[in-house]
Amino acid sequence: MEQRAMAPGCGVEIVGIQLAEAEGETLDAIRQATYRHGVAVFRDQRFTPEQHIAFARRWGGIDINNYFPLTDAHPEIAVVRKAENQTTNIGGGWHTDHSYDQVPAMGSVLVARTLPPKGGDTLWAHMGAAYDSLPKEMKERLEGMTAFHTADHIYAPDGLYAQTDQGSELRGQEMKTGATHPVVIRHPQTGRKLLYVNPGFTIHFTGQTREESLPLLQELFAHAMLPEHQCRVEWKDGTVAIWDNRTTWHLAVNDYHGHAREMHRITLTGEALAA
Enzyme catalytic residues: 95, 97, 250, 265
Half-sphere exposure (Cβ direction) of 264: Cα atoms closer than 13 Å: 24
Length of the chain counted residue by residue:
275
DSSP 8-state class, residue 65: P
Q: Are 39 and 252 in contact (CB under 8 A)?
A: no
Q: Is residue 37 exposed (0-12), middle (13-18) or buried (19+ Cβ within 10 Å)?
A: buried
Strands (E), 28-68: 39-42, 62-63
CA–CA gap between residue 116 and residue 250 (Å, rounded): 19
CA–CA gap between residue 96 and residue 248 (Å, rounded): 7
